[in-house]
Amino acid sequence: MKAMLSTAPGGPETLEWSEIPNPNVAPGQLLVRIHSAGVNYPDTLIIRDLYQMKPPRPFAPGGEISGRVIGIGEDVEGFSLGDRVLALTGHGGFATHICISADQAIKFPSQMTFEEAACFIFTYGTSYHALKDRARIQSGETLLILGAAGGVGAAAIELAKAAGANVIAAVSSEEKAVFCRNIGADETIVYSKELDRTGQKDFTRGIKELAGNESVDIVYDAVGGNYAEAALRTLAWEGRYLVVGFPAGIPKIPLNLTLLKGCQILGVFWGASVLRDPKSHLQNLSELFDLYIAGKIKPHIGARFDMKDAKQALEMLQNRNVLGKVVLTNG
């Protein structure tokens, strides 16, 4: 088999497309031939040793895959050879094959393609957990999404609209704004890629104008950096601020703002929530599949690469040049 290996900490350029021994399926495991792998922001961190998880090297990044079951270990029930499954793997997904615990594997709807399946669970799982479990979004509320054209941002647009909310999509280019409007955003705002103090005030003012009542109920922050304080200032009384990611850097928030607004800052650590509350995760996943079958959500794949070209895919993601999701495929 082949895998895109990280042999030393560093950026995408340090990865090597390598031949490694075929995996042996152990009791309780499934051997999956990987068809597609989703590319996500944590993949850019794990290869630099900047993620919460630090697997021993050499390892392949890639925490989200889809494929077919080609081997079944002892003591595994409920799966057959040829089953189409998706899984969150943590790492190891940028490869041709992988052994996973049968508990990780999830059969997906027949209407869903392998590429869609590999781009589904991470983004929609994160955003559904954020909006449903953490923010408890309600119909008629206004949601501001920072980084709205990325994978989790695009998923948040669709899920918020399915919940009956109004969406303001904040992005870094007019091209991204058009993309967000096309998938359901009610309003868009383009922010500068370098936001100074004056830019922060302009950003806050612009969001309040779009909100109509000069405030938003929920902020979904998948960007961080200097955008965070500006977005927090747009919150209504008892608003909710969702902390999702920091590609622009970890922000420093003046806590007096939370007092003045009576608002909540809520962390969104979806991976930990899956481990701590697997029953709720499975319920959320069932509801997401129902939304997909009903045509209310659908992964928007902005770029496709061969698995051996994972370096380019990761570079595109870390440079924030992505509309929707990036997917890798094996032949």
Are the CB atoms for 11 and 58 separated by under 8 Å?
no
pLDDT tens readout for residues 206-230: 999 999 877 999 999 999 999 999 9
Let me know if residue 33 belongs to a domain. yes
Instruction: Please choose, from the candidates 219, 311, 201, the residue with its C-alpha nearest in 3D space to the C-alpha of residue 268.
Output: 219
Domain holding 155: CATH number? 3.40.50.720
Determine the structural domain holding residue 62 and report its residue range.
Answer: 2-120+299-329
Query: Residue ranges of the chain with pLDDT lower than 50?
Result: none
95 and 144 inside one domain: no
Instruction: Give residue 40's pLDDT.
Output: 92
pTM of the model: 0.90
131 and 261 inside one domain: yes
Instruction: Please tell me the total count of domains within the chain.
Output: 2
Report how far residue 224's alpha carbon sits from residue 310's, in angstroms, rounded to the nearest whole number.
26
265 and 149 inside one domain: yes
128 and 116 inside one domain: no
Q: Which is it for strands 142-146 and 166-171: parallel, antiparallel or unpaired?
A: parallel
Question: In the structure encoding, which two tokens stand for residue 215, read together?
Answer: 């405030």
Instruction: Give residue 247's pLDDT.
Output: 87
Instruction: Give residue 311's pLDDT.
Output: 96
Question: In the structure encoding, which two tokens stand for residue 53, read together?
Answer: 């998880």
Instruction: Give residue 138's pLDDT.
Output: 98
Let me know if residue 282 belongs to a domain. no
245 beta partners: none
Instruction: Give residue 130's pLDDT.
Output: 98
Report how far residue 321's alpha carbon sits from residue 155's, in angstroms, rounded to the nearest whole number.
17
Report how far residue 284's alpha carbon sits from residue 270's, in angstroms, rounded to the nearest whole number.
12
- Please tell me what DSSP assigns to residue 102: G
Helices (H) and strands (E) in the chain, counts: 11, 15
Report how far residue 110's alpha carbon sits from residue 84's, in angstroms, rounded to the nearest whole number.
9
Report how far residue 170's alpha carbon sits from residue 149's, in angstroms, rounded to the nearest whole number.
8
Domain holding 43: CATH number? 3.90.180.10
Please give the backbone phi and psi of residue 106, each rounded to the nearest 5 degrees, phi first: -130, 125
126 and 240 inside one domain: yes
Burial of 307 (0-12, 13-18, 19+ CB in 10 A): buried
90 and 132 inside one domain: no
Instruction: Give residue 193's pLDDT.
Output: 80
Are the CB atoms for 5 and 291 separated by under 8 Å?
no
Q: Which residue's entry shows tokens 């809520």?
A: 266
Are the CB atoms for 233 and 261 separated by under 8 Å?
no
Instruction: Give residue 322's pLDDT.
Output: 82
130 and 265 inside one domain: yes
